[in-house]
A and B are shown apart, each in its own frame.
Chain A
Amino acid sequence: MPKQLSIVKKIFRYREVIQNIGRKIILPALILVLWYLVTRFGNVHPLILPSLESIAREFISLIQSGELPMHICISLKRCLGGFLLGSFLGITSGILMGWSRIWADFFDLLINFIRSIPKTALAPLFIVWFGLGDMPKILLIGLSSYFFTVIPTIEGVRNVDNIYIKSARSMGANEWQIMKSVMFPAALPSIFAGIRLAVTTSLIVLVMVEIIAGNNGLGYLLQVAQENLDMATMFATLFTLGVLGYCLDAGMQYLARVVMPWRKGKTLSI
């Protein structure tokens, strides 16, 4: 009997999942239909809006030639490299600065000064310093990820309820143990808010730098498409970037659920 019950439950959950996907897909589908109708029956020049078929054809041929996968790999490597570097440093130093006023004061001016400079404005400087390779791109993405994670981490640590710290201390925890076993998990929700911003912004910074100074990567592909007025490639690349960004964000949300199982059912967020 319980086994049958679980099968029934599974079917219900299955239906629920389909329903959720259904709701999410309506709007994009409508837009695609509209696009199709406009390019097919409207009098739009293909240089402004190419037909869906031509984009799909271009997309498939870009994949088959191996060109698109190569650019994706190059871009993803830079993006993830910078993101991981920056958010790791952001989270660790954020915990330190949230915990100790002394460290926070020590870094305060520098951090808030550099934070106020748009990362895009630093691109020319980094290109002069580090050349046209991966280095300046990874560093710029790292810098942006750092700032997106460090501030929420500091705030998260500072907002930890004192009662948890008292409780841990009363059970004999020392400062290091409190930092590890209380501050860090208690600050995780706000750390993850920062991580989500950081990962999406990584893609933005990446494409921007690749457009300015790339000889490969998705940004470079866009820039070449612009020069050749190759609208099919341009839209195929934009589509790829959209999918990539969506997947990165979904990945982070999935990670949040895995790392913070206790949040399930407690808040609206997960």
Chain B
Amino acid sequence: MKLEINGLKKIFINSIRGNLLVLDGVNLKIASGEFVSIIGPSGCGKTTLIEIIAGLQQKTDGEILIDQLPIEKSPSNCAIVFQQYALFPWLTVQKNIEYGLKIRKIDKKERNNISRKYIGLVGLNSYKKYYPHELSGGMQQRVALARALANAPDILLLDEPFAALDAQTREDCQRELLRLWQQIGITIVFVTHDIGEAILLSDRVFVMSSNPGTIKTVIDINLKRPRESSVRVEKTFRVKEMNIRNLLNNGQGEVA
């Protein structure tokens, strides 16, 4: 699904500490089936942006269009995956994945079919009866991914999904996400503060600056797919990495 954002503005209203302009004039266009990352210094409003797209926060001004339709009227839906997994601790892996389907009153047989498919896709077949706390962080995040995908979203929003994982697990998860994206052909908006991760995964990287948050530059990543982690040592990769690092540093002023 094509996602278009024009002049998006978000102000946090606070009568005591004063209003805070978080996002100002955010414009972006994302093609159908594209994988884009949003990168920026912490506090630049990445999470706010993605939560507005997901409908979890209200925008102050501007428009968000999915296939030319305002998001409020659009029949298509977004799914979001959070950094803290946000799996329901009282539901098993299978019930977690079926949650959104149950909310939409899809009957039990159909729910089971869908959850079986996505549990299989993330390779957790033998864990469907487990509770989230019985799984490792990487497995929990895979469940969260399966839960989001089970709702058959048109756009998948990921908010620093792998930030809490160790390096090894993070690489596994990145590989898995790429595989799923290629398999399902979904539009992905991926928020991260890890430059390497953004380049490895994306078609394009949106670099944000803070105070107020706005899109500073868009960088095309013209690396051929499928990408292996060996792509990290290629010259184009490292040049882009340095390029983005400089952009982020300038945006932060003195901070080296």
Contacts and interface: CB of A to CB of B under 8 A. Distances in A.
Task: Please determine whether chains A and B interact with each other in the same assembly.
Answer: yes
Interface of A: 163-164, 166-173, 177, 181-182, 185-186, 188, 260-262, 265-266
A170 B80 contact: yes
Nearest to B130: A262
Contacts, number: 57
B79 A170 contact: yes
Contacts of A262: 89-92, 131, 133
Given A177-B103, A181-B99, A266-B133, A171 B90 contact: no
A169 B131 contact: no
Contacts of A164: 86, 88
A166 B99 CA distance: 13
- Chain A interface, >50% SS class: helix
Contacts of B151: 171-172
A186 B56 CA distance: 20
A179 to B, nearest CB: 13
Contacts of B131: 261-262, 266
Contacts of A177: 103
Contacts of B79: 170-171
B55 interface: yes
30 contacts: A163-B82, A164-B86, A164-B88, A166-B51, A166-B82, A167-B82, A168-B99, A170-B54, A170-B56, A170-B78, A170-B80, A171-B79, A171-B100, A171-B103, A171-B147, A172-B77, A172-B103, A172-B151, A173-B103, A177-B103, A182-B88, A185-B90, A186-B90, A262-B89, A262-B90, A262-B91, A262-B133, A265-B133, A266-B89, A266-B131
A177 B101 CA distance: 13
B84 interface: yes
A-B pairs with the 6 shortest C-beta distances? Answer: A171-B100, A167-B86, A185-B90, A262-B131, A163-B86, A266-B133
B86 to A, nearest CB: 4
B72 interface: no
Contact of A185 (B88, B92, B133): B88
Interface in B77-134: 77-80, 82, 84, 86, 88-92, 99-100, 102-104, 131, 133-134
Contacts of B89: 262, 266
Interface residues of B, number: 26
Given A171-B151, A173-B103, A181-B99, A166 B56 contact: yes
A142 B51 CA distance: 45
A164 to B, nearest CB: 6
Nearest to B90: A185
Interface in B132-167: 133-134, 147, 151
Nearest to A267: B133
Considering residues B55, B79, B89, B104, which has the most beta carbons from chain A within 10 angstroms of its beta carbon?
B89
B91 to A, nearest CB: 8
A172 B56 CA distance: 10
B122 to A, nearest CB: 17
Interface in B38-53: 51
A188 B89 CA distance: 12
A65 B55 CA distance: 70
Greatest chain A CB density within 10 A among B54, B88, B104 is at: B88
Given A172-B100, A173-B103, A166 B77 contact: no
A166 B100 contact: no
A266 B130 CA distance: 12
Among A181, A186, A188, A260, chain B packs the most CB atoms within 10 A around the CB of: A181
A169 B88 contact: no
Contacts of B133: 262, 265-266
Nearest to A169: B56
Contacts of B86: 163-164, 166-167
